[in-house]
C-alpha cells in the first residue's frame, strides 16, 4: 500500500450540529461508536476499503468531540484542510451550505485544468473546501 490518506476526522464542539450539517449538505451517514463521543462517517458508495487508492473512490472518516474551543472565524488554519469532491455545481452546494449555517471563506472560482473550487467554514468553525471538474460555464476542466 502506498502512503495514502485513508481516514479523516472532524473535531466538533457540538457534534450533533455537524452530524446534521454534513448529513444534510452531503448525504454523509454518521454512526455513533458505542457510548463514546465519536461518530464514524460513511461518505458514500465505494469509499469503504479503498486502501488501494482507486481513482474516483473516496475515504471515510470520523467526527469527534473537540477538546477546547472552536476556532475563531478568520483565524488561520491550524491542522489540515479537507477538500470534498462534488458532482455538478459548486455554487449550488455552497449556497445550500450557507443556508445550513456555514460561512463562505473563499468564493468559488474556476481554476483552469483543475475545476471550480470554493471554501467554507462549517457551523463549528472548521474550514473545508469543495471541488468539481465542472467550470462556471458548464464545461469540464478535465476535457481541455
Q: Where are the domains of the chain?
A: 8-70+79-132
Mean of pLDDT over the chain: 87
Residue, of 75 and 33, whose pLDDT is higher: 33
CATH superfamily of 8-70+79-132: 2,3-Dihydroxybiphenyl 1,2-Dioxygenase, domain 1 (3.10.180.10)
For residue 23, pLDDT beyond 50: yes
Residue, of 129 and 78, whose pLDDT is higher: 129
Report pLDDT digits (tens) over 38-84: 999 999 876 655 556 566 667 889 999 998 888 888 888 777 889 99
Give the residue from 125, 14, 124, 128 showing the smallest Cα distance to 65: 14
For range 8-31, the mean pLDDT: 96
- pLDDT score, position 26: 95
- pLDDT score, position 144: 46
Residue 13: count of CB within 10 angstroms of its CB: 17
Amino acid at each position: 500500500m502506498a502512503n495514502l490518506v485513508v481516514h479523516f476526522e472532524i473535531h466538533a464542539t457540538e457534534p450533533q450540529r455537524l452530524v446534521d450539517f454534513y448529513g444534510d449538505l452531503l448525504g454523509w451517514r454518521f454512526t455513533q461508536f458505542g457510548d463514546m463521543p465519536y461518530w464514524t462517517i460513511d461518505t458514500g458508495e465505494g469509499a469503504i476499503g479503498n486502501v488501494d487508492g482507486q481513482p474516483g473512490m473516496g475515504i471515510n472518516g470520523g467526527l469527534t468531540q473537540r477538546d477546547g474551543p472552536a476556532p475563531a472565524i478568520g483565524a488561520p488554519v491550524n491542522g489540515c484542510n479537507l477538500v470534498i469532491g462534488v458532482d455538478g455545481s459548486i455554487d449550488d452546494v455552497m449556497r445550500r451550505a450557507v443556508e445550513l449555517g456555514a460561512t463562505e471563506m473563499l468564493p468559488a472560482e474556476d481554476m483552469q485544468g483543475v475545476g471550480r473550487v470554493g471554501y467554507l467554514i462549517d457551523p463549528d468553525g472548521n474550514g473545508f473546501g469543495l471541488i468539481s471538474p465542472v467550470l462556471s460555464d458548464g464545461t469540464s476542466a478535465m476535457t481541455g
